[in-house]
Structure 1
Amino acid sequence: MVNVANRLRLMRETAGISQRELARKVGVSNGTISQIEKGNSDPSVGLLKQILEGLELSIADFFEEKIQPRQKIFYAEDELVDVGSGKVKFLQMGPSTAGRKIQFLREFYEGGASTGHKSLVHEGEEAGFILSGQLEVTVGDQRRVLNAGEGYYFNSTTPHSFRNVSPEPCEIISACTPPF
């Protein structure tokens, strides 16, 4: 017999959607989803069907014995996860890099902000594209101030750092493989 509470939570998490987002999507309260997932409430077939439509699943898919994780493909701006701190904001596509081969970020550097005094060094490669503002990129003994429309690509085993040399904010899109 299928445990509806555990199965719903697993299906929701596999879809990469929060309880609050699912509730908003299907027009029920966050508490309704929470109570079902805790096993404190059994949904009617109609309510379960409505919730599953929000996860883009059929009732047959829900009750299948083997759960096939559903890959989340599309991300809205409010679904990006802030993995930065301080004057540099790193918005990551996806809640985690576990099992991923690439980390994709939208980065914001306040005027004068940097990745710190110590250079970064890690396995892999990095690439980025400046959307607005200016960013000084230092890789080994090479340093250059990049403007909007310019980019970089390097082996990240070489010590590197980033600094906004302008008082204006800088926005970039970057990728790192494997995830850092």
Structure 2
Amino acid sequence: MSTIQVQIAENLKNIRKLRGYSYDQLAQLTGVSKGMLSQIEKGESSPTVNTLWKIANGLQVSFSSLVEEKEPTVSVVRLSEKTAVTENEELLQVYPYFPFDSSKNFEVYYMEILPECVHTSDRHHGMVEEYVLVCDGEMTVGIQDVEYKLKKGDSMRFEANHTHTYSNHTGEKASCYLLLHYA
């Protein structure tokens, strides 16, 4: 069995199981027979490009999601190797750790807020939940005229469909991880 055949088999099986589809349901969605789908998943058949397009269109996924190699199971992100996106005369530094991935619907950032920084974040469109996990220092998160003071070890979750602020009114740097989940 070729490497690409193995990859297609694994990817199709993972997508089908993740969505909870039977072979019958998948056959209805894609127009590919359940026998052929089963053979592809078992690596017993090497599908044509046309068949792969039918499957991709039926599942509403990209063609490459069926043929691309699986992400490594371990990813190490080193702060020292990241470049910050800065704002407020570099009083706010945001490091993108794990960019948005449509199959996971979230992204992760590390954020440092230097003393006297006040950062206003516009509301996010759609259903977006923001999770804040404070690593060091103290910060204040403001949402709709209510301020929440957070210290090292504290965390919070909120719907980010309103303007919100991150501020540091102390004399020491504060840092946190942000996880944005897109429903």
How far the C-alpha of 1:142 sits from its partner, in A, is 1.4
Aligned counterpart, 1:136:
140
Quote the Cα distance in structure 2 between the aligned partners of 1:81 and 1:155: 27
> 2:150 matched to 1:149?
no
User: Contact 1:75 / 1:93 at 8 angstroms: preserved in 2?
Assistant: no
- SS of the equivalent of 2:100 reads coil
Inter-partner Cα distance in structure 2 for 1:138 and 1:163: 8
Larger Rg over CA atoms: 2
How has the CA–CA distance of structure 1 residues 155 and 144 changed in structure 2, closer, same or farther, with 3 Å as cutoff? same
What residue is the counterpart of 1:71 in the other structure?
Answer: 71
CA–CA distance in 1 between the matches of 2:154 and 2:109? 16
Quote the residue 2:11 is aligned against. Answer: none
- The reply on whether 1:101 has 2:102 as its aligned counterpart is no
Q: Which runs of 4+ in 1 moved over 3 A?
A: 78-81
Let me know the Cα RMSD of the aligned residues.
2.4
Structure 2: which 5+ residue stretches go unaligned? Answer: 1-65
Task: Tell me the equivalent position of 1:175.
Answer: 179
- Alignment size in residue pairs: 111
Contact 1:135 1:162 in 2 (8 A): yes
Letter of the aligned partner of 1:82 in structure 2? Answer: A
8 Å CA contact retained: 2:77, 2:97: no
Q: How does 1:86-125 map to 2 (within 5 A)?
A: 86-94=90-98, 96-97=99-100, 99=102, 101-116=105-120, 119-123=121-125, 124-125=128-129
Partner of 1:115: helix, strand, or coil? strand
Structure 1 or 2: larger strand share? 2
1:74 is paired with a residue whose SS is coil
Q: Distance in 2 between matches of 1:79 and 1:98?
A: 21
Code of the aligned partner of 1:171: S
- 1:136-167 Cα offsets, whole Å, 9 max, x none, are 11011311221112111100002211101111
TM-aligned CA deviation for residue 175 of structure 1? 0.5
Q: Deviations over 1:71-106 (max 9, x none)?
A: 144123144453343211111113x43535111111
User: 1:80, 1:178 → 2: CA distance?
Assistant: 24
Amino acid at match of 2:171: P
Mind listing any 5+ residue stretches in structure 1 that lack a counterpart?
A: 1-65
| Structure 1 contact 81–93 (Cα < 8 Å) conserved | no
- Normalising to structure 2: TM-score of the pair? 0.53
The separation in 2 between residues aligned to 1:148 and 1:74, in whole angstroms, is 25
